[in-house]
Structures are given as structure tokens and as C-alpha cells.
Structure 1
Amino acid sequence: MRGYHRTHQWRLSEGGLYIPHAYWNMGPDSLSYWDDVGFILNGRRIMVWWRHPRDIFKEAICSLAWEEAGDGPQDRWLFEGGTQNYKKVGKSGQRKKRSSYTSREPSEAQSQHYAKLSQIEERLMRDGIDLEVRPSWKWERLSWAMGVTLVAPLEVRNEQEVAEVAHLARNLILRKTTLAQEFPGFVYDRASWLRDEAV
């Protein structure tokens, strides 16, 4: 990890953070779902993959919608039967090089399956599901960094707020705090989801 960090430098912000995302589309009242942030601790990279509990909840809704919709037709419309697109290359323009693919339209049965899936998902989003999401974290050793997967009820709409995620992750790693101390009794459930959906 230290060797990788020496040879593959991060572009760090003034606060010493690796911030891979921009926040131009986030307003002061926007709801956030996930983000990534990195920092250096004892000469090692720490990469934090943060998710709000509402993102876990939304993922569970999408998964339930797929289960309820069932297996659709096995139409490989995205990968089979498409058109190859070419662009001219060279000075004469006589040679062609494949540049992209255009997929064909999905079959009628596939389109109906997607429409059914969309209706189920909309209903589950509107009504919510029985699920409780609590703050959690785990870390893992990677070849290039230590990875921290963090689920915590923070809002991340700008660089100052993503710095709070990094600070929390650092304190968890150094055992200066726990999620139970930071978010005592917090549970994200159907009522929380419906409140967020109303926003």
C-alpha cells in the first residue's frame, strides 16, 4: 500500500482529502445518497465509500421490485442484433474503423416487462417497505488502500460535508468514537423513507 501510494499520487484538496466528485448539482436542501472520499493515515491511503441509509433502503426497494416482477423474457436486445458504426480514418478517408455500436430496440415483451417493473418500483417507492437500516461500518485491506464501507445518516452536498464523512471514518478507525455514540438509537425505516419522499 505504501509503495503504491508513493508511485501513484492522489490529487488532494487543501484539506488533504481526495475528493473525486463535484457538487455543482447539489443544493442546500438536496438529499444525498452516496459519495466517496479518501485521505492519508500513517502513510497509507484510506478510501471511504459512504452511503446514506436511504440509499440502502432504495436499493432494497429496487431489488424487491425485480423479485415481484419476476424473470422477464430472455431478450438480449442490448448485446445482440445491434448495428456497428464506423468512422473514416486516414488522409484519404477510404479506410474505416469501428467506432461504436447502436443497440436494437427491445422486443415488445421486453418493453412490457420493463413497464411492469417500473410500475411496481413506483408503487414501492410511494408506499415504502418494511425495512430498518442502522448505521454500520467495516473495513478491508486492499492492495492499494484500506477500504472503509460506511453507512451513516449524514448529508453530503459539498466538500465541507464530505470532509465530515472523512473525519468520522478517521475517528472510527482510530477508535476515538463509535457509531452508537455518534448516532444513538438511529434507525432508518418506512416512516423515514416516506418523509424523504415527501421532500
Structure 2
Amino acid sequence: MVYSLTQLKKHKLLTRMQQQYHRNHPWRLSPGGLYIPHSYQETPPDRLSWWDDVGFILNGRRIIVWWQHPRHVYAVAIEGRAWQEAGPGPQDDWLTEGLKKNYRRVGTSRKKLVSYTCREPSDEAQRHDQRICTIRQRLTAEGIDMEVAPSWRLEQLKWATGISLVAPLEVRSETELAALAALARRLVRQETTLQKEFPGNGYARADWVRETAQRER
């Protein structure tokens, strides 16, 4: 990778900031040296995975991995397609317009605002929501014409280096999470590529439909 002088200065500055932040705000790491934000105690070993996060330390800096299985990217695309197919809805901001104020009495002569109650959506808004739901159910059953390939993107932040990773792994235990972290580490070190790890792998309609029974458990 070739950096301009300005980019190189920014990269070095962010590196120093990341190292300093980690020294002042250390992660609580597992015995295997991982930052594990989620528990897997109640995760069945055969459950389909969707997304997860994991962190580790590399050269005194934090690496945070935001991982998605391709099926999660596919599911988000189905949701977006349902909204697109349903068309624009009515301009009915029922969450913020027409709120009812709820008070609690304080003492004998004063009252304090403690909450709000939203009004019901208009009939037109409810019909639009139902239309989206119906389309979503159909697209979920049929799938959509789309293929999700493995990908990754690195992002320099002030407190860590972030990796947005899409890869067809299953993460249902700390052992499988460690395998995800190991893959991210090798990618950062340029020891491997996603093409080598998952040659010719793309998640498409056939994969989504094949997993229907597992998703509905």
C-alpha cells in the first residue's frame, strides 16, 4: 500500500493515539488474549450465526473486528428490498407528534413530567406497515437475486483499528470466535486473503432457501 506524505503523517498520528488510548484504557481480555463482548453459554452448537464482534491487541494497538456472516448481509438486503417494493409511506410521525404527557404528583401542589405516551399510527400508516410485512414474508420465503461475496475493510479510528469483515464462518462459541480473530489477524498481517480462505465462495438465493428450516427453529 502506497501512502502520500499527508496520509503517512495521519497514519502515524492515529497509531500513537491508539497506543496511548490502550495504555490508559486497557481491555479486559480472555485467557486467550481476546476481547469478548458476548456470552455463548446459551447458544446452541448448531444455530446459524449472523454477526459478532471480537477484539485483540496487535503491536500495542487495539484491533476491533465487526463481523457479519453473508446471510446477515443478505437478510438486511431483503429488508431494504421490502421497503423499496412497498413504496413511500404516509407522512405520519406518530412517534413524536401528538404525544400525551404523563405527570407524577410531587408533594401536594406540584407535578413532574415523567414520560410520554405515543398515539396510535394512522390507518394509512398501519396499512403501509402491513404491506411491508407481507412483502418481507414473501421475499424471505423466496429469496432475492443477490450474491454476497466475502469482503473486508480496514478503518483507522482514534481508539482502535476497525475491521469490517464479511466471511462465511459460524461463531457460536469462544473457540469459533478465536478462529474468527485469527483470520482477521492474518488478513491484517497480509498473511492470507479471503480469496485463498474462501475460494469461489458466494452466498446467494440457493443458500438462503436451503437454510430456511434452520432459520425457523
TM-score (ref. length: structure 1): 0.92
Moved >6 Å (runs of 4+): none
Q: CA deviation at 1:150?
A: 0.3
Counting only pairs closer than 5 Å after superposition, residues 1-199 of structure 1 correspond to structure 2 as 1-87=18-104, 96-199=111-214
Which has the larger displacement, 184-193 or 102-111? Answer: 102-111
One-letter code aligned to 1:141: Q
* Structure 1 residue matching 2:85: 3-state secondary structure: helix
CA distance in 2, matches of 1:84, 1:22: 39
From the superposition, tell whether residues 95 and 175 of structure 1 become closer, same or farther in structure 2 (CA, over 3 Å). farther
Q: CA deviation at 1:62?
A: 0.6
Aligned length: 197
One-letter code aligned to 1:166: A
Which has the larger displacement, 94-103 or 50-59? Answer: 94-103
From the superposition, tell whether residues 25 and 110 of structure 1 become closer, same or farther in structure 2 (CA, over 3 Å). farther
Q: CA deviation at 1:105?
A: 1.4
One-letter code aligned to 1:195: R
Q: CA deviation at 1:9?
A: 2.0
Q: CA deviation at 1:24?
A: 4.0
From the superposition, tell whether residues 43 and 73 of structure 1 become closer, same or farther in structure 2 (CA, over 3 Å). same
From the superposition, tell whether residues 150 and 88 of structure 1 become closer, same or farther in structure 2 (CA, over 3 Å). farther
CA distance in 1, matches of 2:142, 2:58: 43
* Structure 1 residue matching 2:155: 3-state secondary structure: strand
Which has the larger displacement, 4-13 or 70-79? Answer: 4-13
* Structure 2 residue matching 1:170: 3-state secondary structure: helix
CA distance in 2, matches of 1:152, 1:99: 46
Gaps of 5+ in 1: none
Q: CA deviation at 1:67?
A: 0.5
Q: CA RMSD in A?
A: 1.7
* Structure 1 residue matching 2:81: 3-state secondary structure: helix
* Structure 1 residue matching 2:127: 3-state secondary structure: helix
* Structure 2 residue matching 1:154: 3-state secondary structure: coil
Identity %: 57
